[in-house]
Amino acid sequence: MSVLTLGFSPCPNDTFLFDALVNGKIDTGGLQFKPVIADVEELNRRAFNHDLHITKLSYHALGHLLPHYQLLNAGSALGNNCGPLLIARKNLLPDEITRAKIAIPGVYTTANFLLGLAYPKATNKITLLFSEIEDAVLSGVADAGLLIHENRFTYQSRGLVKIADLGEFWETLTGLPIPLGGIAIKRTLPAEVKQAVNLLVKQSVEYAFANPNQAMPYVRLYAQAMHEEVMRQHINLYVNHFSVSLGQIGQDAINTLFQKAQQLHLIPPFDGAVLVENAN
């Protein structure tokens, strides 16, 4: 088997859980991985070109890509109280939100899907790198912004206010945790390779949980501008038991997101297997 390209973001949750896999801390059984590190929306776009063997994807993007990619059972960012935040310089009334120019971190992000679900008439959007959204709101380039990743820990210190917690909106609507992003693998790869990668990602997450301090040098390498406390908050928020295994609740949450997206014609219908099956 040739080297497998592995796409993930430079965010602490991804570098934390992939450290053991890409840095030789677990036995990969002869499989080799080439990291491709990029913002999640860039990874979403690359996946539409089918040029990565394995990649982190927003669940919204994965809904479009299910004919080409399957979801691994490990590695997901999914949970409670971890959804995207809609922020602004001041409180906005509902009718002001629908008229506002809103900065989003990508068309295919789950954050943008949730914004459309909560505020279907809010269609005046501009797409920016997630780390640029706070500045865009502060400068007046955007009236409001949709925050993901570590920016949820910093916006208040910059004088911005929360308008809505879209994770809370989802949890109230469905009673389920919010599926943000998962790890997907090309359907065209042999079944035994998909099963092996499924297990290796789980082992990498388990290794990180068992040896959290060992992962931190790799986390810091890609988060040098981030305070240590924010790094650890980020990891604690997005890496949890769903990252080890989705379980039935995690699968129910993902299927519910896909069903709602299909009902709104935001993703095409798909009847195939979503998850890679484990070897018996």
- Residues 207-251 have pLDDT tens digits of 999 999 999 999 999 987 678 888 888 898 889 999 999 999 999
Q: Would 227 be classed as within a structural domain?
A: yes
Q: Would 275 be classed as within a structural domain?
A: no
pTM of the predicted protein model: 0.91
Catalytic residues, by residue number, are 149
CA 159 to chain centre: 26
29 Rama sector, left if φ>0, alpha if ψ -120 to 50, beta otherwise: left
Helix, strand or coil for residue 161?
strand
**Structural domain count, the chain:** 2
Q: Would 269 be classed as within a structural domain?
A: no
Beta-bridge mates of residue 104: 127
Q: Would 158 be classed as within a structural domain?
A: yes
Q: Binning pLDDT at 50, 70 and 90, where does residue 279 land?
A: low
Q: Binning pLDDT at 50, 70 and 90, where does residue 164 land?
A: very high
Asked if 23 and 142 sit in the same domain, the reply is no
Q: In whole angstroms, give the CA distance from residue 256 to residue 17.
A: 26
Domain CATH for 108: 3.40.190.10
Q: What is the pLDDT of residue 280?
A: 44
Q: What residues have CB less than 8 Å from 221, skipping those under 6 apart?
A: 15
Mean pLDDT in the chain? 92
Asked if 108 and 156 sit in the same domain, the reply is yes
Q: In whole angstroms, give the CA distance from residue 20 to residue 215.
A: 7
Which structural domain, as residue segments, surrounds residue 14? 4-79+178-263
